Amino acid sequence: MEDKNQTTVTEFRFLGLTGQLRQEIILFIMSLSVYLVTLWANLGMITLIWTDSRLHTPMYFFLSHLSFVDICSSSSIAPKMLCDIFVEKKGISFLGCAAQMWFFGLFVAMECFLLASMAYDRYVAICKPLLYTLIMSQPVCVQLVVGPYAMALISTMTHTTLTFCLPFCGPNVINHFFCDIFPLLSLACVDTWNNKLVFCILAGAVGVLSGLIITASYVCILLTILQMKSADGRQKAFSTCSSHLAVVSILYGTLFFIYVRPNSSSSLGLNKVVSLFYTVVIPMLNPLVYSLRNKEVKDAFRRKFERKTLSER
């Protein structure tokens, strides 16, 4: 009985995305390019926000943390995936797999809660503009960032610990390109129904709580906008929310497709492609969406570029 209860698997192996050399070369070039753009765009966004005094507002304070989370979530998956593309034995240690699942889960949950904090910020800015500076004080902004980190940490620590306390006796091949929870649970030597239930409860709490805050905020925002008599005021209010809504729609739509939609063996390949999108591509899209759709960010970029041009003359 003791031998059966002990974990005998010391490492896991990934099947990866594809086994064809031509596709692997294309995948490597595209993934590396996207990852480098992710690092450059998010680091650029953070630098711009912290160096431009006009962007020292709660909205951009949250955005700088969103960029930091995007860098971390992408870096927990992309470097390992890129190294594995041309390697025949795509392996990861038991502890390495646990660390990858923990870090990625932490930053995905953190992003959901951060988007909720940003939605609340937009609600206060549009629905209570006269009280905005009073309500969104610096201590409140810090709490709206620290709180999401704490809740994400509790959620991720719980399901990661429960997962890696399970006995893994073999096989050790994960039908994925990173340590995602459901492909990993399928390798356990015992019934994992309780683990799946706990994960669904925790993930549901993260998704439902953050989703309710976002939905309630935008319902109030929409009602306020519809009551505005000025067309310019309505357009300005919509423009300040459009970037955030785009980011929310992309992230929640992708997570819903992966973790809520019923799975089947025929959809494993599609799930991998969608997983590649939300692990590698979405962290790149967020700063691009905000920089392309936000006038203040574009103006800050232009001022920074003009200063650099003048200093070089």
| Structural domains of the chain in order of their starting residue, each with its CATH number | 11-312 (1.20.1070.10)
* Cα angle for residues 298, 220, 235 (degrees, 5° grid): 35
pTM of the entire predicted model: 0.88
Radius of gyration of the chain (CA): 22
pLDDT digits (tens, 9 = 90+) for 115-139: 999 999 999 999 998 999 999 999 9
Residues 82 and 120: beta-carbon distance below 8 Å? no
- pLDDT value at residue 268: 61
pLDDT digits (tens, 9 = 90+) for 9-42: 889 999 887 767 788 888 899 999 999 999 999 9
- pLDDT value at residue 263: 55
pLDDT class of 230 with cuts at 50, 70, 90? confident
Residues 289 and 242: beta-carbon distance below 8 Å? no
Helices 193-227 & 94-127, crossing angle to 10 degrees? 20
Within 13 Å of residue 64, how many CA atoms lie on the same side as its CB?
Answer: 16
What mean pLDDT is predicted for residues 67-72?
Answer: 94
Residues 94 and 11: beta-carbon distance below 8 Å? yes
Please state the φ and ψ torsions of residue 174, each to the nearest 5 degrees: -95, 125
- pLDDT value at residue 29: 93
d(CA 44, CA 49) in angstroms, rounded, equals: 9
What is the share, in percent, of the chain residues with pLDDT greater than 90?
A: 42
pLDDT digits (tens, 9 = 90+) for 249-281: 888 888 777 766 655 444 566 778 888 888 888
- pLDDT value at residue 164: 93
Query: What burial class does residue 60 get, using C-beta atoms within 10 Å of its C-beta: 0-12 exposed, 13-18 middle, 19+ buried?
Result: buried
